[in-house]
């Protein structure tokens, strides 16, 4: 990928075949560092139970493919597809989903985990490689109050190692403070061009750590669900709807990919979303119409688990699609591009709140104008592994509208009935209020 590629260009080229891809012989440690240390992504390693003959066949064919370029398509002929092609050299292995027009790496891994070769499961073991961010958060959560205070003080000023907050701690506490800070410095530093001050702070922390006994007092990171154990990536939902202006009826929601803020999990970013080509159809008062079509919707919520400088919590979102101007009409579809950014904070391990500001551009319909600014507050609450909620309130100020401002809010709850089945309740208000209750299936 060319350097400094913009987010919108990246998405469009990825979908339309604007990039080439190929195989390389770069060793695993390079990818482990690139993904885990630079891009802060967790890695799951799948060990396959193959014979030496099968391994030799795969490696020999990969050697033949070195240097060959493929046209890259995000939805089907992507990295997961190409790796699946290689693995299907093994006789009897069929892991590419033939009936779908798209191939997700998660689906490939699910099919891989369910494969049987010579009477034995193909996947012998799954190993988790936590990212630098995951390791930092795991350590920080295990600190007591005094240790967290010491970490915060030293993060602000390395000279705080001489203050009472740190010096009066026992050896065990000093050890966990220093190890947490070492991960923190590498987490916030620019991996390509770290500042001299960061290098100096890191060397100071290492020197202090060498004065203490060996070993680690931290508990290892608990292995979450690996990708193959998560729900399937596509979603369809049938919903009963009551709209105060348009009457009662049903709705169908189809999302080819990938996840929203309530069902993020198994390797996804909590409270965030990545949706593409999601369509919502309504049948109300004997009339069928398109409620919305999201070409792409991305939301990133980083809640700043530690609260330390450089990890205060940041959110951003981009959305391109079409939707009805408000819930009170069925023939006021507008094309809309919107974006926002803001801050988020953990109130507890299961509750996040945030504030965003942003704006949107749209085609002018019924005098609502073509541009508006917006500010919103939101929250996400998880009551249990199966039940969670989200709430958002948004105020819009139209620049060139004769209708004035708008207040929009939504409350949605999700309960997971099984791995691939859920129940959702949604209350929305945009000029009028709409209630819906639906059952969803992941496929």
Q: What is the pLDDT of residue 376?
A: 98
Which tokens is 16 given? Answer: 């339309």
Q: How far apart are CA 58 and CA 350, in angstroms?
A: 45
Q: What is the pLDDT of residue 104?
A: 86
Cβ atoms of residues 55 and 48 within 8 Å: no
The C-alpha angle 323, 391, 246, rounded to 5 degrees, equals 40
User: What does the pLDDT look like over 187-217, one tens digit per residue?
Assistant: 988 777 778 888 999 999 999 999 999 988 8
The CATH superfamily label for domain 230-442 reads monomeric porin ompg (2.40.160.40)
Q: What is the predicted pLDDT for the residue at 266?
A: 64
Q: Which segments of the chain have a pLDDT < 70? A: 265-267
Q: Which of 73, 75, 97 is nearest to 85 (CA)?
A: 97
The residues pairing with 106 across neighbouring beta strands, listed in sequence order, are: none
46: which 2 tokens? 């799948």
Closest CA to 430 of 318, 296, 336: 336
Measured from the Cβ of residue 271, the count of other Cβ atoms closer than 10 Å reads 23
Q: At what angle do helices 171-188 and 132-141 cross, to 10 degrees?
A: 150
Q: What are phi and psi of 248, to 5 degrees?
A: -105, 160
* pLDDT given for residue 247 in this prediction: 95
Report the pLDDT value the prediction gives residue 267, as an integer from 0 to 100.
66
Distance CA 167, CA 149 (A): 12
How many degrees, rounded to 5, is the angle at CA 305 between CA 225 and CA 156?
145
Q: Tell whether omega for the bond before 258 is within 30 degrees of 0, i.e. cis.
A: yes
Domain positions in the chain: 7-129, 143-209, 230-442
Q: What tokens appear for 268 in the block? A: 């996804």
Can you give the pLDDT at residue 98? 83
Burial of 235 (0-12, 13-18, 19+ CB in 10 A): buried
Contacts 24+ apart (CB under 8 A), 42-45: 42/128, 42/129, 42/130, 42/131, 42/134, 42/267, 43/128, 43/129, 43/131, 44/109, 44/126, 44/127, 44/128, 44/129, 44/226, 44/227, 44/267, 45/126, 45/127, 45/128, 45/129
Task: Quickly tell me which residue has 């799951």 as its tokens.
Answer: 44
pLDDT of residue 403: 80
């Amino acid at each position: 990928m060319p350097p400094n590629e913009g987010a919108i260009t990246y998405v469009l080229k990825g979908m339309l075949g604007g990039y080439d891809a190929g195989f390389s012989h770069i060793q695993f440690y390079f990818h482990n560092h690139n993904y885990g240390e630079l891009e802060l992504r967790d890695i799951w390693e799948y060990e396959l139970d193959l014979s030496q003959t099968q391994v030799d066949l795969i490696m020999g064919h990969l050697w033949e493919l070195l240097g060959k370029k493929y046209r890259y398509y995000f939805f089907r002929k992507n990295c997961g597809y190409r790796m699946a092609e290689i693995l299907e050299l093994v006789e009897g292995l069929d892991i590419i989903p033939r009936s779908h027009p798209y191939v997700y790496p998660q689906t490939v891994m699910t099919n891989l985990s369910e494969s049987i070769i010579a009477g034995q499961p193909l996947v012998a073991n799954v190993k988790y490689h936590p990212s630098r961010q995951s390791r930092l958060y795991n350590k920080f959560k295990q600190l007591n109050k005094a240790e967290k205070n010491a970490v915060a003080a030293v993060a602000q000023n390395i000279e705080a190692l001489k203050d009472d907050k740190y010096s009066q701690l026992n050896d065990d506490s000093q050890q966990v403070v220093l190890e947490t800070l070492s991960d923190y410095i590498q987490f916030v530093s620019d991996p390509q061009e770290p500042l001299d001050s960061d290098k100096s702070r890191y060397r100071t922390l290492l020197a202090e750590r060498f004065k203490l006994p060996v070993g680690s007092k931290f508990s290892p990171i608990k292995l979450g669900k690996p990708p193959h154990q998560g729900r399937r990536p596509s979603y369809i939902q049938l919903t009963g709807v009551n709209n105060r202006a348009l009457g009662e009826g049903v709705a169908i929601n189809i999302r080819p990919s990938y996840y929203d803020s309530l069902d993020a999990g198994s390797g996804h970013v909590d409270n965030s979303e990545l949706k593409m080509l999601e369509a919502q159809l309504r049948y109300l008062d004997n009339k069928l119409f398109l409620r919305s079509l999201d070409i792409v919707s991305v939301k990133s919520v980083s809640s700043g688990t530690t609260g330390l400088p450089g990890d205060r919590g940041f959110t951003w979102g981009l959305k391109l699609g079409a939707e009805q101007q408000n819930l009170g009409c069925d023939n006021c579809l507008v094309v809309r591009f919107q974006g926002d950014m803001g801050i988020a904070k953990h109130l507890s391990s299961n509750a996040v709140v945030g504030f965003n500001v942003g704006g949107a551009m749209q085609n002018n319909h019924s005098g609502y104008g073509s541009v508006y600014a917006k500010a919103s507050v939101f929250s996400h609450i998880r009551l249990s592994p199966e039940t969670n909620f989200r709430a958002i309130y948004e105020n819009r100020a139209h620049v060139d509208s004769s209708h004035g401002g708008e207040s929009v809010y939504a409350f949605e709850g999700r309960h997971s009935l099984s791995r691939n089945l859920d129940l959702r309740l949604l209350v929305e208000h945009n000029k009028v209020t709409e209630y819906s209750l639906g059952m969803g299936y992941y496929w």
